[in-house]
């Protein structure tokens, strides 16, 4: 059997997506497959062009499958249709697009999704906020870009699940530490931004939390800077070397551990290609709060908050 060849298209090179790329390479190595990584630099049009070029390549240059994490809310549905028609497997990462069932109905190649349950991430963050703010309060909430279905799903689930005594002040950022720093710095220049009005800084990605911290560290007023930096910060992804380490160091109060999706996706893909069967339409990665919600509540109780 010929060596399988896959293309993985990722939104950018933030820490999580670098982990996605690295774990994809390692999984491919273990499976005896070849993998090519494409990065779209947070540009939905560029991603569409890159993936379209792969689909339109001569037959002998086409991969066995494309795995991609979409930047657009449409999930490149037309490109996916063209890929399947060309005999290229289609795997959607980290997004609940609505066309997978239709696309796989008459497909001879694997079509499926592997995702983190973004609504569950939002619900876990709501529980973390409730644990950290037992008396309620206001959360400065940094979420991903408006075009991101993942960001929208997390925010919607958070809003539905949070206690009524917790209010959300939302800012939108690209999925990068640098952009979060710019967004928060711009917000801090507004007269309405006061540390006394915020009780927690919650972020949809650990890197956004670090970007926010950098913006606060740039404040020239020592008292204001200290007020911001003494607030609890939370994030999502929980990589061992970043989010979990930052919790252990006291930089973050909590994170949601949401591992890479590429290893499971590649294993399911190879199994499907070898057996000629379709994997489940959608598979989810296990999520957990770090520290656990029980430990978080106990820590807050010990600190004297009620």
The percentage of the chain sitting over the pLDDT mark of 90, rounded to a whole number, equals 90
Query: Which residue shows structure tokens 């795995």?
Result: 67
Q: What is d(CA 116, CA 211) in angstroms, rounded to the nearest whole number? A: 23
Task: List the beta bridge partners of residue 237.
Answer: 257
The percentage of the chain sitting over the pLDDT mark of 70, rounded to a whole number, equals 99
Instruction: Report the pLDDT value the prediction gives residue 196, as an integer from 0 to 100.
Output: 78
Instruction: Report the pLDDT value the prediction gives residue 4, as an integer from 0 to 100.
Output: 96
Q: What is d(CA 217, CA 200) in angstroms, rounded to the nearest whole number? A: 16
Instruction: Report the pLDDT value the prediction gives residue 305, as an integer from 0 to 100.
Output: 60
| Residue 60 token pair | 């002998």
Give the pLDDT mean for 265-280: 96
Confidence bin at 193 (pLDDT 50/70/90): confident
Instruction: Give the model confidence (pLDDT) of 157-170 as tens digits.
Output: 999 999 999 999 99
Instruction: Give the model confidence (pLDDT) of 215-252 as tens digits.
Output: 999 999 999 999 999 999 999 999 999 999 999 999 99
Supply φ then ψ for residue 260, to 5 degrees: -60, 145
Instruction: Report the pLDDT value the prediction gives residue 182, as an integer from 0 to 100.
Output: 98
pTM here is 0.87
Instruction: Give the model confidence (pLDDT) of 14-23 as tens digits.
Output: 999 999 999 9
Checking if the pLDDT of 195 tops 80, the result is: no
Burial class (CB in 10 A: 0-12, 13-18, 19+), 182: middle
Cis peptide before 291 (omega within 30 of 0): yes
Instruction: Report the pLDDT value the prediction gives residue 72, as an integer from 0 to 100.
Output: 84
Instruction: Give the model confidence (pLDDT) of 21-37 as tens digits.
Output: 999 999 999 999 999 99
Q: How far is CA 258 from CA 120, 171, 190, 228, 285, in A?
A: 10, 22, 33, 27, 7
Instruction: Report the pLDDT value the prediction gives residue 96, as an integer from 0 to 100.
Output: 86
Q: Burial code of 77-93, b = ≥16 C-beta within 10 A, e = fewer?
A: bebbbbbbeeebbbbbb
Instruction: Give the model confidence (pLDDT) of 47-104 as tens digits.
Output: 999 999 999 999 999 999 999 999 987 889 999 999 999 999 999 999 888 999 999 9
Average model confidence (pLDDT) for the chain? 95
| Residue 276 token pair | 């000629």
Give the pLDDT mean for 184-213: 92
Asked whether the beta carbons of 176 and 207 are under 8 A apart, the reply is yes
What HEC string does the chain produce? CCCCEEEEEECCCCHHHHHHHHHHHHHHHHHCCEEEEEECCCCHHHHHHHHHHHHCCCHHHCCCEEEECCCCCCCCHHHHHHHHHCCCEEEEECCCCCCHHHHHHCCCCCEEEEEECHHHHHHHHHHHHHHHCCCCEEEEEEECCCCCHHHHHHHHHHHHHCCCCEEEEEEECCCCHHHHHHHHHHHHCCCCCCHHHCCEEEECCHHHHHHHHHHHHCCCCHHHHHHHHCCCEEEEECCCCCHHHHHHCCCCCEEEECCCCHHHHHHHHHHHHHHCCCCCCEEEECCEEECCHHHHHHHHHHHCCC
Sheet holding 233-237: strands in order across?
166-172, 137-143, 200-203, 233-237, 254-257, 288-290
Q: How far is CA 79 from CA 51, 56, 108, 212, 272, in A?
A: 7, 10, 17, 36, 21
Give the pLDDT mean for 264-274: 97
Domains recognised in the chain with CATH numbers: 5-116+260-285 (3.40.50.2300), 118-237 (3.40.50.2300)
Checking if the pLDDT of 152 tops 70, the result is: yes
């Amino acid at each position: 059997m010929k060596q399988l060849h896959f293309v993985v298209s990722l939104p950018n090179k933030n820490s999580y997506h670098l982990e996605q790329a690295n774990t994809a390479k390692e999984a491919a190595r273990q499976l005896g497959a070849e993998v090519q990584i494409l990065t779209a630099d947070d540009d939905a049009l560029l991603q569409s062009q890159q993936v379209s070029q792969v689909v339109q390549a001569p037959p002998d240059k086409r991969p066995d499958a494309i795995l991609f994490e979409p930047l657009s809310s449409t999930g490149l549905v037309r490109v996916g249709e063209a890929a399947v028609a060309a005999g290229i497997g289609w795997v959607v990462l980290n997004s609940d697009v609505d066309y997978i069932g239709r696309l796989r109905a008459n497909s001879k190649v694997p079509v499926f999704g592997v995702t983190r349950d973004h609504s569950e991430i939002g619900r876990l963050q709501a529980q973390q906020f409730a644990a950290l703010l037992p008396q309620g309060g206001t959360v400065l909430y940094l979420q991903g870009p408006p075009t991101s279905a993942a960001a929208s799903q997390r925010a919607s689930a958070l809003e539905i699940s949070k206690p009524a005594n917790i209010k959300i002040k939302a800012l939108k950022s690209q999925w990068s530490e640098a952009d979060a720093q710019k967004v928060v710095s711009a917000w801090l220049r507004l007269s309405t931004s006061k540390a006394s009005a915020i009780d927690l800084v919650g972020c949809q990605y650990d890197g956004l939390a670090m970007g926010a911290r950098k913006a606060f560290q740039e404040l020239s007023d020592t008292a204001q800077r200290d007020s911001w930096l003494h607030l609890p910060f939370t994030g999502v992804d929980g990589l061992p070397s970043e989010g979990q380490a930052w919790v252990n160091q006291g930089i973050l109060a909590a994170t949601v551990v949401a591992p890479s999706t590429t290893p499971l996706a590649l294993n399911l893909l190879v199994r499907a290609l070898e057996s000629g069967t379709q994997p489940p339409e959608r598979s989810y990665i296990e999520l957990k709060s770090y520290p656990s919600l029980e430990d978080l509540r106990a820590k807050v109780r010990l600190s004297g908050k009620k």
